[in-house]
Amino acid sequence: MARTRHLPSQERKELTVRAVVELCGEQDPARITTASIAERMKVTQGALFRHFTGKDEIWQAVMKWIAEQVMRRLEKAVARSETPLATLEAMFMAHIGFITEHPGVPRLMLGQLQHSEPTSATRLVRSMLARYRERLAAILEEGTVCGELRADLDIEAAATQFIGTVQGLVVQSLIAGDVQRIAEQAPGAFLLYRRGIQAGEAS
């Protein structure tokens, strides 16, 4: 049996990220200590510093992982969809799916956004959200052009509202302490958002 002490640094880093994401599903990121991370990994606290120069670098690695995961999923969703509206819905559900699979993610991102003096990790979050918005804006624009969305749509507001729709569900789940219910509420939430941006309907 592979007792798997002694891992290559690369793998150990990945396990560290996993552990942190996991821990964020259970507690306030601000209260996560290097000791608690190490404990979760069955390693001593000092061992972490063989792979990271400091705690900051751990957060950075975590945010990098999240950014990659989210963006990969979003692009996949975009690729599979036909119309702008269908793309938006696929992105929405992909985002929600990622959150329900990794309940620590919202807490992680909100935790990073709290910092007013941006660390490296904070900058990563901000740039990810900025890219996210750009992606959204492009699709929304496309939707207005093809007539699927209201011609007078405020693109910026619609992008903010998209993220807000997710946020509403997230806040709801933080209050209820139950991340999984997000999945059930997601379709209804998107329907409401869709009605706000869609061109005049017949129903």
Binding site for a copy of itself (CB under 8 A): 26-31, 107, 110-111, 113-117, 126, 129-130, 150, 154, 156-158, 160-172, 174-175, 177, 185, 188-189, 191-197
Q: Interface with DNA includes 53 (CB under 7 A)?
A: yes
- Binds DNA (CB under 7 A): choice among 27, 45, 114, 120: 45
Q: Which of 28, 27, 52 is nearest to 38 (CA)?
A: 52
Tokens describing residue 123: 């900058």
Q: How many CA atoms lie within 13 A of 132 on its CB side?
A: 27
Q: Interface with DNA includes 47 (CB under 7 A)?
A: yes
User: Is the Cβ of residue 53 or residue 116 nearer to DNA in the bound state?
Assistant: 53
> What distance in Å separates the CA atoms of residue 139 and residue 131, rounded to the nearest whole number?
13
Which option in DNA, a copy of itself, none does residue 161 bind, with CB closer than 5 to 8 A by kind? a copy of itself
SS3 assignment, position 198: strand
User: Is the Cβ of residue 28 or residue 154 nearer to DNA in the bound state?
Assistant: 28
Contact 104, 32 (CB under 8 A): no
Which option in a copy of itself, DNA, none does residue 72 bind, with CB closer than 5 to 8 A by kind? none
- Binds DNA (CB under 7 A): choice among 14, 22, 49, 81: 49
Angle, alpha carbons 69-171-177 (nearest 5°): 90
